[in-house]
């Protein structure tokens, strides 16, 4: 009986061509964020199940790959529920492990702490084209900084990265959970219905303002309140003065500082940006995660539909580990999305330098091999990539394969026992 | 109730100082092996349990982290054995996933194919100092090359890497499973006892030749046979002419080609090496894995006791997926061992370039922030790393922390709302 050749359902083997692009993007990420003072960290891929299941019923919890207890701890006969046979699982994002990490190590870390983490996460989603059950996330977070400098730095660093990947014409949209809330309360929605109102609002870009109106109507909210609510969006969306307008309109519902900060963030990013993008206030931006407490932001490109990065402030998460709330603001970069875009547009990793192939005749003498290896070594130490391998019986096919793999005909040298051809 | 701050048992959070070294070694590994024509690949961390358990009862199988089935597939009530609730697990090495990968993709890959894979593996070992249940392995493999060019290239590439990490005085020891076998058969050990004889032989460096003699005696082997066996080691260990001696002595038991190839490998590596090391034939080298079929090799450094890299030829593994045997030769580099050695000797990552910290007074105006961010941006685009953060109330403590984190006093600049100090 032979073993199974295919990867497990929903996961994928990465071929060298794609891997080269992934490696390139990874090193560009590390280099770029490092220039902003971010430090690489790593957390284990396995987390306590108790922590993974703590985000109060998020969809992600259902998708956890749970790991079986082992040895004496595993008592199959008496097992009644999944908790009896599992107490850990594979992480499904990097934010929860980072929060645990910071809670565990904050006294060994600078304050504020700027963290970069690139790593695989796992979700047992229904397999579908282009979505895999193991995928890479790339998160940057600033912990312990209460000021909007955190937001500015996160946005500047990430847009610099996208610019270096030659992405153009993208848009940073920014909002604040406190503005979202103030707008809804001002319009008279009951406080305990806000999450449901935001779920509807989040569909604005798909169903338009009329679709949102219809849905809110269907939910039975007060018609005048809905009008009052939607008028706010009419007056502020994609409007440079949107924030100033809200500052006045929402007086009594919104603290001036929140609005001022948002204006400063936008102004600072606009004044400093090095890449080709725009930043705008978007009062319809919701972002799903319930753990956000302040600013929220997202980067999207018209030509690619969905967003390539998103994040926000989550000042209450670390407190779930320590009992003390701690400022935290983060950006999650859509690593897999970026790789897909690059692959789709036929991206080539820039300038790889010289490369050669040495094909050596089968049966070459030991002395001849020494001579050839010395030559390979000489070239390598001067920066040339040299692939040494035995010449196959079907030399023509072997050379075709090598050329498919990126070598040119003139890069391929043939060595025989006595003389050098080509 | 607060959540659990510590990582799961036996796994570790990696702090920025160590992570910087890990990132540095990783990029050096990629760069070095790339210059030898190796290509990065990646396989999923999760594998079919059936594949993981296929190495015929290795110790590793007991240490697998098994993943629970989900949804309808999980039938807890009727579960009688672990197989009923799990059909996948975390990989415990990179060789098995690579073999599956090659079996699955060989027609999309060049031949021979030179693969580099760096990734985490998991083993539920008893936790102990310096050994963790998640750790990084780094494997290079040459698939589809029947010639000893594979061995030469693997050894040259790996010794070049160690040299670039400033490791000196290391020793490459090499042997061949066919020589091991010929020596034992020549001495008259029964063929079905060879594995057990090799387990004893493997202890030579710990218990010496007399210890080995004693143990073989205790197992009840023929005394003359033991004498004949151990005399061979006496005549060949650490002897430049060891292989020639065996060629004659083992006539009829060992094919000449095996011995000749080993001589050529040693001679070519000696003639070409760029780093400071020696390579020697070691007839006592066994290497535990039962899947090796030909040459086996190991790199050790006297000052660090255990080996830092090891590998060999395993021509039968890929056939377990395809039904056809395929040449394969690989080297596993002790990534964690190397990191530990570097940390112990206080290794510093070379030349990081200029770096600055901008500490900004709380409450600085929006205009002032813009001005400061522009200056940071200017420095960054000229290659300086700039960390921007808000000035803490306890500025003295914050600066001390930053200096512990590698910044110098003169790198730290303070910005106030109106003027620049320092």
* ipTM confidence: 0.93
In this structure, the answer to whether residues B326 and B373 fall within a common structural domain is: no
A402: in domain: yes
- A149 vs B47: CB contact, 8 Å cut-off? no
pLDDT, tens digit (0-9, with 9 covering 90-100), for B52-90: 987 655 667 789 999 999 887 888 778 888 888 999 999
Which value, to the nearest 10 degrees, does the dihedral of the CA atoms of residues A29, A35, A39, A45 take? 0
Q: Which residues of B touch A2 (CB under 8 A)?
A: 320-323
**Start-to-end CA span in chain B (Å):** 46
Contact B388 A79 (CB under 8 A): no
CB spacing of A4 vs B51 below 8 angstroms: yes
Which of B85, B101, B370 has the CB atom closest to A85's CB atom? B85
Name every chain B residue with its beta carbon within 8 A of the beta carbon of A76: 79-82, 85
**CB < 8 Å to B124, chain A:** 70
Chain B residue numbers with beta carbons less than 8 Å from the beta carbon of A19 are: 39-42
In a domain, A4, yes or no: no
Instruction: State the nearest Cα–Cα gap between A225 and chain B, in angstroms.
Output: 35
- Nearest-CB residue to A3 (from B68, B115, B321): B321
Q: Which residues pair with A143 in a beta bridge?
A: A113, A328
Q: What's the average model confidence in pLDDT over A50-68? A: 81
Question: Residue B320 and residue A3: Cβ atoms within 8 Å?
Answer: yes
Tell me the nearest-neighbour CA distance from A184 into chain B, angstroms: 28
- Segment B381-410 shows an average pLDDT of 91
User: Which has more confidence, A222 or A364?
Assistant: A222
Residue A395 forms part of a structural domain: yes
Q: Are A99 and A91 in contact (CB under 8 A)?
A: no
Q: Do residue A120 and residue B274 have CB atoms under 8 angstroms apart?
A: no
- Decide if B174 contacts B280 (C-beta within 8 A): yes
Last residue of a domain, one of A344, A363, A392: A344
Q: How far is B5 from chain A (nearest CA, A)?
A: 5
User: Do B253 and B368 belong together in one domain?
Assistant: no
Put simply, the answer to whether B45 touches A387 (Cβ < 8 Å) is no
Average pLDDT for chain A: 91
As a whole-number percent, the residues of chain B with pLDDT over 70 amount to: 98
Instruction: Give the domain-ending residue among B306, B324, B344.
Output: B344
For residue B292, what are the CA distances in angstroms to A6, B134, B177, B180?
24, 25, 7, 12
* Chain B residues with CB-CB distance to A267 below 8 A: 366, 370
By DSSP bridging, strand A134-143 and strand A170-176 are unpaired
* Contact between chains at A104 and B374 (C-beta distance less than 8 A): no
Residues B93 and B47 sit within 8 Å (Cβ to Cβ): no
Give yes or no for residue A51 having a pLDDT over 80: yes
Cα distance between residue B316 and residue B313, in whole Å: 9
Measure in Å the smallest separation between the Cα of A149 and chain B Cα atoms.
7
Residue of A nearest to B134 (CA): A44
Residue A5 pLDDT > 70 = yes
Instruction: Flag if A11 and B46 touch (Cβ within 8 Å).
Output: yes
Q: Which of B307, B325, B344 corresponds to the end of one domain?
A: B344
Across the interface, which of A6, A50, A105 has its CB nearest the CB of B3? A50
Tell me how far apart the alpha carbons of residues A142 and A39 are, in angstroms, rounded to a whole number.
10
Query: Is the Cβ pair B100, A4 closer than 8 Å?
Result: yes
Give kind and range of the element (H or E) at residue A300: strand A295-301
Calculate mean pLDDT across residues B394-398. 91
- Regarding whether A372 and A332 lie in a shared domain, the answer is no
For residue range A266-285, what is the model confidence (pLDDT) as tens digits? 999 998 887 789 999 999 99
Instruction: Give the nearest chain B residue to A380 (CA atoms).
Output: B35
The answer to whether residue B134 is domain-embedded is: yes
Distances (CA, A) of B344 to A362, B10, B337: 45, 21, 11
Tell me the average pLDDT of chain B.
91
Q: What is the pLDDT of residue A302?
A: 77
Q: Is the Cβ pair A111, B27 closer than 8 Å?
A: no
Q: Which residues of B touch A377 (CB under 8 A)?
A: 156, 272, 274
Same domain, A372 and A307: no
Q: Are residues A113 and A257 in the same domain?
A: yes
Mean pLDDT value across residues B261-274: 91
A26 — pLDDT class (breaks 50, 70, 90): very high
Higher per-residue confidence, A80 vs A176: A176
pLDDT at A283: 94
Residue A333 forms beta bridges with which residues?
A138, A309
Decide if A134 and B108 are in contact by the 8 Å CB cutoff: no
Which residue range forms the structural domain that includes residue B367? 355-421
- For residues B213 and A83, what is the distance between their CA atoms, to the nearest angstrom? 53
**B294 and B394 inside one domain:** no
CATH code for position A164? 3.30.930.10
Q: Are residues A365 and A243 in the same domain?
A: no
Helices B194-201/B204-218 angle, 10° precision: 140
Q: Lowest-confidence range among A46-50, B83-87, B113-117?
A: B83-87
- Taking 80 as the threshold, does the pLDDT of residue B209 lie above it? yes
Is there a domain that residue A160 lies in? yes
Residues of chain B neighbouring A34 (CB-CB closer than 8 A): 385
Q: Please, which residues have CB within 8 angstroms of residue A389's CB and are 6 or more apart in sequence?
A: A357, A358, A359, A360, B112, B114, B142, B145, B149
Paired with A89 in beta bridges are: A47, A66
Please tell me whether residues B302 and B367 are part of one structural domain. no
HEC profile of chain B: CCCCCCCCCCCCCECHHHHHHHHHHHHHHHHHHHHCCCEECECCCEEEHHHHCCCCCCHHHHHCCEEECCHHHCCCCCCCCHHHHEEEEECCCCHHHHHHHHHHHHHHCCCCEEEEEEEEEECCCCCECCECCEEEEEEEEEECCCCCHHHHHHHHHHHHHHHHCCCCCEEEEEEEHHHHHHHHHHCCCCHHHHHHHHHHHCCHHHHHHHHHHHHHHHCCCCHHHHHHHHHHHHHHCCCCCHHHHHHHHCECCECHHHHHHHHHHHHHHHHHCCCCEEEEECCCCCCCCCCCCCEEEEEEEHHHCCEEEEEEECCCCCHHHHCCCCCEEEEEECHHHHHHHHHHCCCCCCCCCCEEEEEECCCCCHHHHHHHHHHHHHHHHCCCEEEEEECCCCHHHHHHHHHHCCCCHHHEEEECCCCEEC
Q: Is residue B66 part of a domain?
A: no
d(CA B196, CA A400): 47
Do B336 and B415 belong to one domain? no
> What pLDDT does residue B421 have?
53
Residue B146 pLDDT level (bands cut at 50, 70, 90): very high
The 10s digit of each residue's pLDDT in A245-268 is 999 999 999 999 999 999 999 999
Question: What local confidence, expressed as pLDDT, does residue B274 receive?
Answer: 77
3-state secondary structure of A51: helix
Token pair 């080995």: residue = B212
Q: Can you give the pLDDT at residue A56?
A: 54
Q: How far is CA B415 from CA B320, B334, B360, B391, in A?
A: 66, 46, 5, 9
Rounded-to-5 percentages of helix, strand, coil across chain A: 45, 20, 35
Rg (CA), chain A: 27
Q: Given an 8 Å threshold on Cβ–Cβ distance, is A39 in contact with B48?
A: no
Which of B9, B17, B35, B92 should we substitute to test contact with A (largest number of A Cβ atoms within 10 Å)?
Answer: B35
Measured distance CA(A138)–CA(B297) in Å, rounded: 38
Q: Which of A73, A122, A272 to mutate to test the interface with B (most CBs of B within 10 A)?
A: A272
Does residue B255 sit within a domain? Answer: yes
Helices (H), A187-327: 194-201, 204-218, 223-236, 242-249, 256-272, 319-322
Q: What is the pLDDT of residue B418?
A: 75
Q: Are B293 and B98 in contact (CB under 8 A)?
A: no
Q: B-chain residues within 8 Å CB-CB of A146?
A: 390
- Judgement on whether residues B194 and B299 belong to the same structural domain of the protein: yes
pLDDT at residue B366, as a whole number: 86
Inter-chain touch B85–A80, beta carbons under 8 Å: no
- Per-residue pLDDT tens digits for B313-368: 999 999 999 999 899 999 999 999 999 999 999 999 987 789 999 999 988 888 89
Contact A267 B366 (CB under 8 A): yes
The minimal CB distance from B13 to the residues A67, A81, A101 is found for A101
What is the mean pLDDT of the segment spanning A188-204? 93
Check B3 against A357: CB less than 8 A apart.
no
User: Which residues of chain B neighbour A115 with C-beta distances below 8 Å?
Assistant: 16
CA distance A177 to B30: 43
Over residues B29-33, the mean pLDDT reads 96
Domain count across chain A: 2
Query: How far is it, in rounded angstroms, from Cα A126 to Cα A144?
Result: 37
Look at residue B422 in the predicted model and tell me its pLDDT.
47
Neighbour tally for A289: CB within 10 Å: 18
Contact residues, chain A, for B401 at CB < 8 Å: 110-111
Start-to-end C-alpha separation, chain A: 46
On whether residue A7 sits in a domain, the answer given is: no
What is the chain A residue with the closest CA to B124? A70
Query: Chain B contacts of A39, Cβ < 8 Å?
Result: 16, 19-20
Asked if B207 and B165 count as a contact pair (C-beta separation under 8 A), the reply is no
Question: B47 to chain A: which residues are within 8 Å by CB?
Answer: 8
Contact check, Cβ <8 Å, A85/B70: no
Q: Which residues of A touch B2 (CB under 8 A)?
A: 320-323
Question: Which of the pair, B10 or A74, is modelled with greater confidence?
Answer: B10
Asked whether the whole model's pTM tops 0.80, one would answer yes
Count CB pairs under 8 A between chains A and B: 317
Query: B284: which 2 tokens?
Result: 């006592």
Helices (H) and strands (E) in chain A, counts: 15, 15
Say if residue B163 is in the same domain as residue B207. yes
- The pLDDT of residue B169 is 87
Nearest to B130 by CA among B333, B289, B341, B288: B341
A314 phi and psi angles, rounded to 5 deg: -135, 75
Radius of gyration of chain B (CA): 27
Is A280 found in the same domain as A391? no
């Amino acid at each position: 009986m032979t073993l199974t050749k295919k990867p497990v359902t929903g996961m994928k083997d990465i071929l060298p061509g794609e891997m080269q692009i992934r490696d390139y993007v990874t090193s560009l990420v590390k280099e770029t964020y490092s220039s902003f003072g971010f430090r690489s960290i790593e957390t284990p891929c396995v987390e306590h199940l108790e922590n993974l299941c703590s985000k109060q019923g998020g969809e992600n919890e259902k998708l956890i790959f749970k790991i079986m207890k082992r040895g004496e701890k595993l008592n199959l006969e008496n097992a009644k529920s999944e908790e009896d046979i599992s107490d850990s699982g594979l992480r499904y994002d990097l934010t929860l492990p980072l929060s645990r990490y910071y809670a565990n190590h904050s006294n060994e870390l600078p304050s504020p702490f700027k963290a970069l983490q690139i790593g695989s996460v796992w979700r047992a989603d229904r397999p579908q084209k282009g979505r895999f059950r193991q995928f890479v996330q790339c998160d940057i977070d600033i912990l312990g900084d209460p000021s909007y400098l955190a937001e500015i730095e996160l946005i500047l660093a990430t847009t610099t990265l996208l610019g270096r990947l030659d992405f153009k014409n993208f848009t940073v949209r920014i909002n604040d959970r406190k503005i979202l809330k103030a707008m809804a309360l001002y319009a008279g929605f009951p406080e305990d219905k806000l999450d449901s109102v935001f779920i509807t609002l989040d569909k604005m870009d798909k169903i338009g303002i009329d679709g949102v109106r219809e849905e809110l109507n269907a939910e039975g909210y007060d018609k005048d309140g809905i009008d009052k609510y939607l008028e706010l969006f009419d007056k502020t969306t994609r409007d440079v003065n949107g924030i100033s307008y809200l500052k006045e309109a929402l007086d009594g519902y919104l603290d001036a500082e929140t609005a001022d900060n948002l204006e400063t963030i936008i102004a600072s990013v606009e004044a400093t940006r090095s890449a080709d993008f725009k930043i705008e206030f978007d009062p319809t931006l919701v972002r799903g995660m319930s753990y956000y407490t302040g600013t929220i932001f997202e980067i999207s490109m018209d030509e690619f539909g969905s967003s390539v990065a998103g994040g926000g402030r989550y000042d209450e998460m670390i407190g779930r580990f320590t009992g003390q709330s701690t400022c935290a603001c983060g950006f999650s970069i859509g690593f897999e999305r970026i790789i897909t875009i690059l692959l789709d547009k036929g991206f080539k990793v820039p300038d790889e330098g010289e490369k050669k192939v040495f094909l050596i005749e089968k049966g070459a003498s030991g002395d001849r091999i020494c001579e050839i290896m010395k030559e390979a070594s000489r070239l390598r130490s001067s920066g040339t990539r040299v692939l040494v391998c035995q010449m196959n019986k079907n030399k023509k096919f072997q050379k075709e394969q090598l050329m498919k793999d990126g070598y040119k005909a003139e890069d391929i040298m043939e060595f025989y026992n006595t003389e050098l051809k080509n």
